Structure 1
Amino acid sequence: MIVKNTTLSVLLLSTMGLFAQEVAQTNTVVKPEIKISYLDSVKQSFVKDDYAIRVDSLWMKELVSLDIYEDLSKDIQTINTDTKVDYELPTELLKQRLQAMNEKSPFNIQYNQGLENIIKSFLKNRKKSFSRLMALSEYYFPMFEEAFAKQNVPLEIKYLAVVESALNPKAVSKMGATGLWQFMYHTGKQYNLKIDSFIDERSDPLKASAAAADYMSKMFKIFGDWELVLASYNSGPGNVSKAIRRSGGKQTYWEIRNHLPKETQGYVPAFLATMYLYEYHNEHGINPDRAVVQHFETDTIRIKEKMTFKQISSLLDVPEAQLQLLNPSYKLNVVPFYQDEDHFLRLPKEKASVFVSNEDKIYAYLDHESSPKINQVQTLIASTKTASPKSTQTVISKTQLYKVRSGDNLGAIASKYNVSIVQLKKWNNLKSNSIALGRNLKIISESKIIKKDINEVKLAPAVDKKRTEEAIASVEDKNTKEAQPSLYVVQAGDNLSSIAKKLNVSLSDLKEWNGLNAENMDMIASMKKLVIHSKAEESDEIPEIIVASNNIDSYKKKTAAVKNSGVDYYVKKGDSLYSIAKKYPGVTISDIKKWNDIENGDIKPGMKLKING
């Protein structure tokens, strides 16, 4: 028994020793050190502020959208004040309310049929717009009121910015008038608003409001009537003076109105109608949207060095779109630095606190980034561990379609895909901000792919195994997913069924790609082109995430079968046999001609080509 126990003890001790050795060996494994960028190291050292009010993304979409501005401008220019509008608002009740407004206002608010027509038109057609405008007012109106109070200008003139720009600091009229108060270039210069390559202070809410207040104060000294001041703001003091002379010396707006330019005849009534809607919005069921940001929730910082919105966004984690909206006067998304001039950056208060608390570190980072030598070394460290003379970087463009839904606007769509409204309009040949329901919009995104000799690729960043597997799986699925769309030119005698059969696609897909249904099937007769999605074309580019994981062999095995099986390629506009051959390694123009029985090299958009191997 004693021998057995002793033997057992020896075995246990031996086993424990072996276990301890295994543990020791396991503990000696050193994980590779993952280097972080200089930017990340700077941000990790920031002193964080607990104040955490955030700007709602919906608010940014409203500011960037020009839809309301265009709609209101069109209304004011085209509305016929002599045409009665069918809307339930008793005339006697309206007279009582206008009288109540007149008693507490320096404006001469009189009832007339033209004013009633405009008020009813706004109530009938623009209720939703005014709900959104009232939310924006909570941000802008305090700035306006402060500027007007300094010049002893009636605070009610703040409503004029609604008529002028729909409270959009980026609004630009067809004549070039810019900003919340729609100053022309020379008028802006006359009132000391700076306009150069970097800055346009006509879009600065504070400075433009001060200039507007200055203008109103000077015009009142000339005309002595606030309605005439508004008329002069719209058409110029010269036109008002002419109207006074033509009316036989009358000196009130309502007496000279018929002698003013047509647009100005509806301008002051539009202002008074706006004032009425703000005063009695509850009575008409207009519920202001939620105002998630107030003017007092932002703060300004004096900038001591030139910096871009991109740099500020990276350092403070503030979206560039938000910086553009809070700082609309910077035309190139750059806060410049001029000697003997102060430039300010407006930020949400919690971000302003982070900036002030870490100002030295921020400027040190800017100096570091501006150094060409350091910047070059930092770029090399971030991109690869071993430099290769064969390395290249390719920018790949991907096009997708977005079908416009009810309630969409260009601002919301641009924000969703992190692109600008200008890009959306350029890609889709849009001349205005209006978009038709059901229309397919092109969205183009770019991604950078680092391409190297396949046996030498090694990138520094560690890549999650799961993400690598998902990337390889996405390559495996690539041939079944829709690639960039091509266009089919509709020919005489075509119908959807014949086109679907010709292009080897389903009828239901053809309808979906082009927004067609039972109600608008007959539109094909008037359509010149149809959107067609083909199978993904082959490419010798290796997805960045797979390159970063060094999982090239696995990637090649997954795609080998695809490359050897052959693919169908649908000719796009601008394609040539040479450009198509370049897409496929080892494929020549002669090969494509042979595989597709092409004699003279003529190809047309929508034509199906077979690429073998």
Structure 2
Amino acid sequence: MKILVTTLSLLTALTVQTVNANLLTDTSQVNDQIVLNQLTEDYDSLLHSWYVSRSVDQEDTIEMEEIDNVGLLMPHDSVIKKNMAEMPVFFDMTYNRIVKSYFKVYLKDKRELTETVLGLSEYYFPYFEAILDAKGLPLELKHLPVIESALNPRAVSRVGATGLWQFMYATGRFLDMEITSFVDERRDPVASSYAAADYLNSLHEIFGDWTLALAAYNCGPGNVNKAIRRSGGKTDFWDLYYYLPRETRGYVPGFIAVLYIFHHQDELNLKAKNIEMPLLTDTVKVKQKLHLKQVAEVMQLPLGQLQDLNPQYRRNIIPGGKAYALRLPYKRATDFITLQDSIMKYKDSIYFNPKILAKKPNKQRYYGDAPSGNYKRLYYRVKPGDNLGFIADWYDVRTRDLRYWNGIRGSMIRTGQRLNVYVPKSRAANYKSINKLSFAQKQKREGNPVKNVQGNQTSKKYPDDGQYEYYTLKKGETLWEVAKRYEGISDRDILRMNNLTTGRYLKAGQRIKVKRIN
């Protein structure tokens, strides 16, 4: 056990979200608001899958105005506390202003996406429940991947944690998960759930408390032990709250909110989206090399469906050499067995071309891919005085995206380092000259010219000449959501065009500039 504790203390789990700083006052608490705001941006970005993009029934959407009118947005605090006290769960269901801030995110700010996750849970929860039950663990732990990944098996964090349960590479390897160029069991709903159950059980053995085990799952047992020491030996999560890493402070409150919402979704007037995942599936064992496109084309199955049912195959290839599981819709498993020989031979010289397979894998394991096929990769060579914030501004991208695309965990970059930057293909020509410009020229392009000796500044990038397209904000809408409606426009662009430093104080019905008319 000592060896296990020592090893576990070296492992870190993934970053998630923290609490609403509107309720709090000091500097560290204001930082919590930043992380909570990040949740509202990241939550929907996790929900990109074949089923979600094709199967969500948009007619089921409940308009926010309608929710407000019928008074179903948030139950009274006394009702929530009463219901929490009656919930038959292993976890301490504390309800306070911090937890309440997460109710607002899941029930109001991102209500439609919460309903999408409810739909996905109908497919994934049976896997989690069966494994947790077999391991003798609380079934409530099935809600953990909702916070971790929004039930997206392909989710990858900015630090490389992957899959439904968001395992780091080292943690996955420690738990005997297969992670190769072709297979990543962190993305396998079954394999990753077994590993998560074992890891959570080990953390509970260390701390003897499920709430602290959850905190340790997020930031590592070493950080929880450090918080206990700094607090003078306290072992209650809320006593340790401000001794824990910022990201971890919101992990348990978020879990409590999700646990309540899933238990009381009918009372909260939440309607699970119809995702149309095949609830009945079957697996066949494959020992030879097989490409998912071979299966899709011969069996006339959508490739996206096969990819979502088998997300562990990173390049759509089952590598062979041992028996691997291929998951198929229940009624098609027998068809695969019948057609197996034909499937294996179909275009095998194309899908398994030795020149293609011999290519060296990308050594930068966690460097992100382009957001979509509509983006082009550019390179920027870091110069003295540069930082990630400046570079993000020059290319009109987000700093966190720069980190993800380049495998950067903090903000440290070095002179001469080459960075990947993805920009819309339609605007790529606008950025190609940036590498050759001086710092002052790059700042001038952004409307932030470097002051001259007299302190005068040149004119801003967006002159107020009325040549703009305008947009009227809807209730609960963020600038990030507005920017997604316009190709090549970021939330930062909108702030600049409107001479704003933050969108926090914008209100529904307000008209804002969203696009420069050329």
User: Normalized against structure 2, the TM-score is what?
Assistant: 0.58
- Does residue 299 (structure 1) correspond to residue 285 (structure 2)? The answer is no
2:324 is aligned, of 339, 343, 348, to 343
Question: Deviation per CA, 1:229-262, whole angstroms, max 9, x where unpaired?
Answer: 0000001000111111122222222222221111
Aligned partner of 2:247 in structure 1 is: 263
Local SS of the residue matching 1:422? coil
CA distance, structure 1, for counterparts of residue 515 and residue 352 of structure 2: 59
Correspondence for 1:45: none
Letter in 2 for 1:318: L
If asked which structure has higher relative contact order (CA below 8 Å, sep 6+), I would say 2
The one-letter amino acid of 1:200's match is D
Q: What is the CA deviation profile of residues 434-462 of structure 1, one whole-angstrom value per residue up to 9, with x for unaligned ones?
A: 9xxxxx9769xxxxxxxxxxxxxxxxxxx
**Contact map agreement 2:16 2:251 (CA 8 A) in 1:** no
In structure 2, what is the equivalent of residue 49 of structure 1?
none
Equivalent residues in 2 for 1:315-464, closer than 5 Å: 315-338=298-321, 341-365=322-346, 422-426=372-376
Deviation (angstroms), 1:97? 1.2
Distance in 1 between the 2:164 and 2:80 partners? Answer: 30
Structure 1: unaligned runs, 5 residues or longer: 1-72, 373-419, 435-439, 444-489, 497-511, 531-613
Displacement after TM superposition at 1:88 (Å): 4.5
Cα distance in structure 2, aligned partners of 1:181 and 1:250: 28
| Residue equivalent to 1:172 | 156
Is the contact made by 1:81 and 1:266 (CA closer than 8 Å) also made in structure 2? no
Residue 287 of structure 1: how far off its partner (Å): 0.8
Hey, what's the Cα distance between the residues in 2 that align with 1:274 and 1:371? 44
Report which stretch shifted further, 323-332 or 110-119.
Answer: 110-119
Q: Note if contact 2:375-2:425 (Cα within 8 Å) is conserved in structure 1.
A: no
Q: CA offset at residue 349 of structure 1?
A: 1.9
CA distance in 2, matches of 1:157, 1:235: 17
Equivalent residues of 1:136, 1:291 under 8 A apart: yes
Report if the CA contact (8 A) 2:74-2:107 is conserved.
no
1:236 corresponds to which of 202, 220, 224: 220
- Partner of residue 113 from structure 2, selected from 129, 132, 136: 129
Of 128, 151, 162, the residue aligned with 2:146 is: 162
What per-residue deviation string (whole Å, max 9, x for no partner) do you get for residues 520-556 of structure 1? Answer: 89954xx6xx5xxxxxxxxxxxxxxxxxxxxxxxxxx
User: 1:263 Cα deviation (Å)?
Assistant: 1.3
Q: Secondary structure at the match of 2:373?
A: helix
Whether the 8 Å CA contact 2:228–2:235 is kept in 1: the answer is yes
How has the CA–CA distance of structure 1 residues 334 and 81 changed in structure 2, closer, same or farther, with 3 Å as cutoff?
Answer: farther
Helix, strand or coil at the partner of 1:299: strand
Distance 1:272 1:522 in 2: 37
1:18-57 alignment, distance < 5 Å? none
Trace 1:168-247 onto structure 2 (pairs within 5 A). 168-247=152-231
Deviations 1:160-218 (A, max 9, x none): 10000000011111111000001000000000111111111111110000000000111
Distance 2:15 2:203 in 1: 27
User: In the TM superposition, what whole-angstrom CA distance separates every residue of 1:286-308 from its partner, at most 9, and x where no partner exists?
Assistant: 1111242344x211111132121
SS at match of 1:268: helix
Aligned to 2:3: none
Q: Structure 1: how far apart are the matches of 2:234 and 2:514?
A: 60
State the SS of the aligned residue for 1:283.
coil
Contact 2:19-2:101 at 8 Å conserved across structures:
no
Contact kept? 2:289, 2:320, Cα under 8 Å:
yes
Q: Which moved more, 1:279-288 or 1:224-233?
A: 279-288
Aligned length: 336
Q: Is the 8 A contact 2:424 2:488 kept in 1?
A: no
Q: State the partner residue of 1:314.
A: 297
Cα offset for 1:119?
A: 1.7
Change (3 A) 1:253 1:522: closer
User: Does 2:80 correspond to 1:97?
Assistant: no
Task: Letter of the 2:374 partner, please give it.
Answer: L
SS at match of 2:328: strand
State the Cα deviation string for residues 33-75 of structure 1 (Å, max 9, x = none): xxxxxxxxxxxxxxxxxxxxxxxxxxxxxxxxxxxxxxxx998
State the shift of 1:361 in Å.
Answer: 3.4
Matched, 1:249 2:233: yes
Offset of 1:113 from its aligned partner? 2.4
Superposed CA offset, 1:577-599 (max 9, x none): xxxxxxxxxxxxxxxxxxxxxxx
- One-letter code of the match for 1:279? H
Q: Which amino acid aligns with 1:236?
A: G
Q: Contact (CA 8 Å) 2:15, 2:219: kept in 1 or not? A: no
Q: Read off the aligned partner of 2:85 and give its amino acid letter.
A: Q
Q: For the structure 1 residues 81 and 250, does the alpha-carbon distance in structure 2 shift closer, same or farther, using more than 3 Å as the test?
A: farther
Deviation of 1:141 (Å): 0.5
Cα RMSD for the two superposed structures: 3.9
* Matched-pair contact (CA < 8 Å) for 1:131–1:286: yes
Code of the residue aligned with 2:190 in structure 1: it is: L
* Superposition TM-score, scaled by structure 1 size: 0.49
Aligned to 2:94: 110
Residue pair 1:299, 1:349 contacting (<8 A) in 2 also:
yes
Q: Deviation of residue 83 (structure 1)?
A: 5.2
- Superposed, 1:269-288 pairs within 5 Å as 269-288=253-272
Distance 2:238 2:192 in 1: 29
Counterpart secondary structure, 1:300: strand
**Distance apart, 1:159 and its partner CA:** 0.6
Distance 2:275 2:281 in 1: 14
Q: Which has the larger displacement, 281-290 or 162-171?
A: 281-290
Does structure 1 retain, via aligned residues, the 8 Å contact 2:149–2:166? yes
Tell me the amino acid that sits aligned with residue 326 of structure 1: L
CA displacement at 1:343 relative to structure 2 = 1.1
Equivalent position of 1:80 in the other structure: 21
